[in-house]
Structure 1
Amino acid sequence: MGRSTPLPDDLLDDLRAIVSNRLSTSAAVRAHHGKDESYHAPRPPDAVVFPESTEEVQAIVAACRRHRVPIVPFGAGTSVEGQVLATHGGVCVDFTRMDRILAVHPEDLDATVQAGVTREQLNDHLRHTGLFFPIDPGANATLAGMASTRASGTNAVRYGTMRENVLGLTVVTASGRVVRTARRARKSAAGYDLTRLFVGAEGTLGLITEVSLRLHPVPEAISAAVCPFPSVSSAVATVIQTIQSGIPIARSELLDALTMQAVNRYAKTGYREAPTLFLEFHGTEAGVAEQARAVEAIAREHGGVDFQWATRPEERSRLWKARHEAYLACLQLVPGRRALVTDVCVPISRLAECIETTLEDIARTPLPVPLFGHVGDGNFHLIVLVDPQDSGHLREARTLNHRLVERALALDGTCTGEHGVGVGKRDYLREELGDAVDLMAAIKRALDPDNLFNPGKILPEDAAGG
C-alpha cells in the first residue's frame, strides 16, 4: 500500500519552516532513503528531512500528524528486513545530522548520545577512557537504529544485546510529546518499563532522538583464535560444551565452508575452507590463558585442529575484519546477485539439530547459500544469493527461508534473533507469539491511533489496522 497523492504543499511549507534547506524531494535522495540491505523492493518516501535536535523532530511529527502523513525513521540504512522502506509513502526522518555525543560518565559507566551517533563513532570517542560499547552487529549502524531493531552481534554471548545495554531513551511520540523513559540509575522499579517497549519497536511507536547506554571496561587482556573443524556439527558441539562448562567466552562465531571460501577470496586470506569457529576471550592475562586452553581442549575432542592464536591488537583486528566482511565477501561469490538475508535463533541445546537440518535443505537447493552466525547464543544466518530478476530464484529463496523459520519455531526458537521483523518476518509473528500480537496491536493503537509511525512494519496485516 502506498500514497496515491503527493504531499500537500502546506506540509512541505511547514517542514521547510522547521528545517530550512534540510528538506529534499529530489528523486535521488528519496531513492537512497527508500532501500536498505534487504532483497525487498525499494519504496521511496515522498520527502526526506534532516533534523538536528529533539525539538525539530517534535515539530516534524506535529506537522505530519496535522496532515495525517506517515513518518519513517532512517539511520544508516543497514537494516535487512525492510525496516526503512516507505511502504505507505510519507516523510522520511533522517537522523544522521543528530550525531552529537551528549555526555559520557566514566565513573558510572554510561553515555548519552543523539540518535544518529554510530557505534564506531562512540567507541572512537571512548578510546582514551578505558571503556567501550560492546554491541557489534558488524555494520556501522546508528545507535538509535540498533535500539529500534534490538540489535546484537558478535559480542552478545558475553555482553548481551541492545535490550540489556540501553539504560533509557528520549522519544517523540505520535501525540507530539517528548518522553524520557528512564533515569540513569542502574535499576528501577518505577512504573512500566517503557525503555524496553521502544527497544525493538522499529519506529512504530515513536521516534528515538537520544539513547543512554551502558558502557563496559576494556578488558585487561584479549585473545582470539580461529579453529577449523571437520563438520559444522562438531564446531557447534564445541560451542555448546564450552557454554555448558561455564567458560565465559566473549565471542563465538561459526562460518561454514562456503563462507570461508568467500572470505579467503575477498580478504585474500589463507584460512582452511572448512567449517570454522572464530573465538575471543576477555579478562585478566591469567584468566584469558586459562579459558583459551580449556576451549582448545574441548575443540580437539570434537576434531578441531590448527588453532591460530592472535593476541596482538593488529592480529585480532585482522582476524575480526575477515569475520565482519563475511557478508560482503558472500555477495562477491556470484557478482550481480542480491542477498536474501535471514536469521533465526533457537535454544542452544537445539542448535546442532537446527543447523544440520538446514544444511540438508541447502544441499538440495541450486542457489549458493553461505551460513554463519553467533552460535554462542543459538543465532545463525543464511545468505541466499539470488538473481532478483529470476522469479524462480526468489521463489526458491523464500521457500528456504520459510522452512528455516518453521524449523526454528518448532524447536521453540524465534523467527528473528537480531534482524528484527520489518516487512520480511511479519507473517510469522502470530505463529510465534499467538495472542500476544493482539496486545502489541492494542499498544500500537493506543500510542499511534492514526498508524502514522512506520506503518506496514512488525504487525501482520490482520492486526495492524490503520
Structure 2
Amino acid sequence: MPAASSEQRSEKVSLVIDVLRQQLGEKINTGESVRSQHSHTTTSLPPQLPDAVVFADNPDDITIVVNTCAKYEVPVIPFGIGTSLEGQINAANGGISIDVSGMNKILSVNSEDMDCTVEPGVTREQLNSYLRDTGLFFPIDPGANATIGGMTATRASGTNAVRYGTMRENVISVEAVTADGKKIKTANRARKSSAGYDLTRLFVGSEGTLGVITAITLKLHSAPSSILSGTCVFDDIEAATNTVIMTIQMGIPVARIELMDAVQIRASNIYSDMDNPEKPTLFIELHGEEEDVEKQAEMFAEIAKDFGAQDPQFSSILEERNKLWKARHDAYWAMKSLKPNTDMITTDACVPLSRFSECVVKSQQDLAELNLFGAIIGHAGDGNFHTQVMINPDDDDELVRVREYASRVSKRAIEMDGTCTGEHGIGQGKQKYLDLELGDSVDIMRQIKKALDPKNIMNPGKVFQLNGQTK
C-alpha cells in the first residue's frame, strides 16, 4: 500500500465509513468500545484499533466492504471470535474490521460423504452440538471455542491433532472474497483432486492476508464407540516426555496425549478443583472399540512404568472425562488466576518428535536460568508445546528476560528442524522467526501476496512485511 499522510488516510477512512454506512446501515459501528473489542484480546501485544467494525451476516456484506476498501486503499481485517495469540486481529494500519460471528449457519451436512459446509462464524462447539445425533464429529480442538473461519485462517490444531490431524488435513474447500472483490471457491467436495494449484492449502493458514473466508467445507469423522481418558504422573518432565515419544513410536493410536508440568498442575488444581499430585502429568485419551482401548491403555501403562510413572488412572465416565479435559482447556485461565496482578506472555513451538524431550527440558531450564515464573504445557503427541510466562508489566528488566526466553524457545525449535509456531501462527509477533525458519521461501510468500493483493489491503502487517524488513 503506498505511503499516505495521516490526513490523507483519515480522509479515505471517512469516505469508506460514509459509503459503508449508506449501504450497510447499522451493521457498521465506530464506537470506541466496539473497536477496542476488535483489536487485541488474549495476545500480549499492544492493541491497535480498527477505524470501524462491520458486523457481516452474509457474503454480500463482505463483498461490499472489500470492494469499497479496495477503491480507497483502506485495510480489511477479518475477525472471528478473537482468540488469536499473535496479534492477527490487530489493525496495524487502521481500517475496517469485518466481524463474521453473525455468519454462523451450518449450510449442509452430508452424512454419507462425512463432510459438512459451514459459514466462518460457526464455532467448533456449535458444530459438534449440531452433529451429535449423526454419529459424526469434527475433531479439531484448539481449546478455545474458536470459530471455524478463524481456525481455518490460522491453520489451527489442538489436543486431537495427534490422531486426526490439523485444519490443514481437515479442510476440503474454502470459499472466500479476494482483494479485488471476487467470490472464489478453491475446490469441490471430492476427497482428492489433481486439478491445478492447491488453493485450499494456500488459504488455510493465510491469516486473513489473501482474502476473507465466507464458507468452509470440512471432513467429519465417526464418533468413537468407546473413549477412555486418564492421567499419568511422573517425577520429572524428562520421563514424561520420553514416555510420549515411546508411546507414539510403538504405534499406540492415542487420540490425545497432553503434557502439563508441575507449575501448571498446581494452577489447574486450584482453578479447576482438581487434586492431582503437583508433578509433571500426561493427560491421555484413547478412542475405538471397548476391547481395543482397554488393550491400548494397558500398553501405555507398561511404557509409562518403564519411565518410573505411577499407575495411570483411566475412566470411561463422561462426567469425569469432561472435568479432566475442561481443566486442560482452562490451563491459560488457571495460570492467569494463579498470579492475578500480572500479565502473561505465551509462545509455542513444535519439533520433530525425537527432539521433543530435549527441547522441553531445555526450555524448562531456561525458565529457571532467567528467573522467570511460568508453565509448560503441550500437545505432546505431535511435538508441540506451549509456555505461559507470568510477568509484572511494570518490571522492564523482567520483560527483557521474557523476550529472551521466547527468542530461545523459537530459535531452539528451528535449530532442531522444527518451527517457531506449531499452531498460534505468525501474526505480528513472530515475523523475524519466520525469516529465520524459512529464509528465501518467505520471498515467495511475498510474491503471492503481491499478486493476489497488490494494494495490500488484506490484513496488512501480518505474517511478514512486504518490504522484506521484519520488526
TM range (shorter): over 0.9
- Secondary structure of the equivalent of 1:224? strand
CA distance in 1, matches of 2:169, 2:58: 26
1:44-90 CA-to-partner distances (Å, cap 9, x unmatched) read 00000011111111111000111110010111100000000001101
- Compared CA separation, residues 410 and 3, structure 1 to 2 (3 A): farther
* Alignment partner of 1:184 out of 185, 189, 194: 189
* Alignment partner of 1:207 out of 196, 209, 212: 212
State the match for 2:176 in structure 1: 171
For the pair 1:117 / 2:122, whether they are aligned, the reply is yes
State the match for 1:161 in structure 2: 166
Code of the residue aligned with 1:272 in structure 2: it is: P
* Alignment partner of 1:352 out of 357, 360, 366: 357
* Alignment partner of 2:400 out of 365, 382, 395: 395
* Alignment partner of 1:223 out of 225, 228, 246: 228
1:245-294 CA-to-partner distances (Å, cap 9, x unmatched) read 11111100000000000001111210010000000000111111111110
**RMSD over aligned Cα atoms:** 1.4
Asked if 2 retains the 8 angstrom alpha-carbon contact of 1:18 and 1:60, the reply is no
CA distance in 1, matches of 2:281, 2:210: 40
For the pair 1:91 / 2:91, whether they are aligned, the reply is no
Asked if 1 retains the 8 angstrom alpha-carbon contact of 2:446 and 2:466, the reply is no
Identity %: 50
CA distance in 2, matches of 1:90, 1:328: 31
CA distance in 1, matches of 2:4, 2:93: 4
State the match for 1:266 in structure 2: 271
State the match for 2:26 in structure 1: 21
- Secondary structure of the equivalent of 1:107? coil
Asked if 1 retains the 8 angstrom alpha-carbon contact of 2:13 and 2:95, the reply is no
State the match for 2:258 in structure 1: 253
1:337-387 CA-to-partner distances (Å, cap 9, x unmatched) read 121110000000011111111111111233211100001000000001112
State the match for 1:244 in structure 2: 249
Asked if 2 retains the 8 angstrom alpha-carbon contact of 1:115 and 1:208, the reply is yes
Asked if 1 retains the 8 angstrom alpha-carbon contact of 2:13 and 2:51, the reply is no
For the pair 1:441 / 2:418, whether they are aligned, the reply is no
State the match for 1:311 in structure 2: 316
Asked if 2 retains the 8 angstrom alpha-carbon contact of 1:2 and 1:88, the reply is no
Offset, 1:163: 0.2
CA distance in 2, matches of 1:388, 1:87: 22
- Secondary structure of the equivalent of 2:399? helix
TM-score (norm 2): 0.97
- Compared CA separation, residues 8 and 227, structure 1 to 2 (3 A): closer
State the match for 1:279 in structure 2: 284
Offset, 1:462: 4.2
State the match for 1:68 in structure 2: 73
- Secondary structure of the equivalent of 2:423? coil
1:419-457 CA-to-partner distances (Å, cap 9, x unmatched) read 000001101111101111000000000000011100010
* Alignment partner of 1:234 out of 236, 239, 262: 239
Where does structure 2 lack aligned partners over 5 or more consecutive residues?
none
* Alignment partner of 2:371 out of 360, 366, 384: 366
1:11-35 CA-to-partner distances (Å, cap 9, x unmatched) read 1122123322011100100111111
State the match for 1:126 in structure 2: 131
Code of the residue aligned with 2:66 in structure 1: it is: V
- Compared CA separation, residues 242 and 223, structure 1 to 2 (3 A): same
- Secondary structure of the equivalent of 2:26? coil
CA distance in 1, matches of 2:469, 2:68: 23
For the pair 1:58 / 2:60, whether they are aligned, the reply is no
CA distance in 2, matches of 1:425, 1:271: 34
For the pair 1:193 / 2:190, whether they are aligned, the reply is no
Code of the residue aligned with 2:90 in structure 1: it is: L
Asked if 1 retains the 8 angstrom alpha-carbon contact of 2:13 and 2:74, the reply is no
CA distance in 2, matches of 1:327, 1:419: 14
TM-score (norm 1): 0.98
Asked if 2 retains the 8 angstrom alpha-carbon contact of 1:3 and 1:89, the reply is no
- How many residues are matched? 465
Offset, 1:388: 2.3
- Compared CA separation, residues 274 and 422, structure 1 to 2 (3 A): same
